[in-house]
Amino acid sequence: MKLTPEQRIQLHGFNNLTKSLSFNMYDICYTKTREEREAYIEYIDEQYNADRLTKILKSVTDIIGAHVLNIAKQDYVPQGASVTILVSEGPVVEVPTESYDESPGPLPEAIVMGLDKSHITVHTYPEYHPNEGISTFRADIDVSTCGEISPLKALNYLIHSFDTDIMTMDYRVRGFTRDIKGQKLFIDHDISSIQNYIPEKVKNQFDMIDVNIYQENIFHTKCKLKEFDLNNYLFGYSKDKLSKEEQEEITARLTEEMDEIFYGKNIK
């Protein structure tokens, strides 16, 4: 569906489409001992505490042109954090046409656009294997907007805000709005894939799979790093401290863990 800027503006009432982006990232690490695992989780908790996550979400509100109404944040014991921001619409001077293009968003310059009351949330989940060895960190971010701009414009910034091995992204447009003739609009921008909102430099680093249901305005993309360097997954030391056999065993465990997360099933 191709709409001109004039058609987008000429609505009956306001644009009440709900656009939701769910962004999930995973960081995988090999922690051989309990002490290494505890040190890794402590490091993650410090890197992604509630204060830093709040700064990330505030930048997201700038990108989508929102005003912060309320912030609720919490660091949990023994680990993890959550932040929820309630936002309201920003002032609309004019509608920039690039907001409708399938292209990466800014890092993180402000885009001033209309946004009705909505919310942005993040929750973190440090986790580890009961038999030691594998530790994972997951962050779930949800950006839900009502109005003309798509939260996909914040995706580029979110990707650059986290060190990630695996990403899964879901985007859905719900509801409908009407034009001045009463015609229902179930989506107000063209989209063929979430990948079009990710820079080429980033896409070249990942294997990517799309699962899209176009007739329902549901889009799903998942990504896994192509290159594997064991040094990036050892906490506190490098692979030259390990024997060749240890390197092979740890590599096999890490790649299996990443494949299981990427494909969403247990391989063994």
Cβ(172)–Cβ(191) under 8 Å?
no
Identified catalytic residue from 123, 129, 160, 220 = 123
Beta strands 177-178; 166-174: pairing state:
unpaired
d(CA 188, CA 170): 18
Find where tokens 């979430």 sit: 194
DSSP type of residue 176 = -
Q: Is 220 a catalytic residue?
A: no
Cβ(106)–Cβ(157) under 8 Å?
yes
The HSE-up count of residue 142 (CA atoms within 13 Å, CB side) is 14
d(CA 242, CA 75): 36
Q: Is 118 a catalytic residue?
A: yes
Q: Is 243 a catalytic residue?
A: no
Identified catalytic residue from 59, 146, 161, 223 = 146
d(CA 44, CA 26): 12
Identified catalytic residue from 59, 99, 118, 161 = 118
Q: Could you give the residue numbers annotated as active site? A: 118, 123, 146
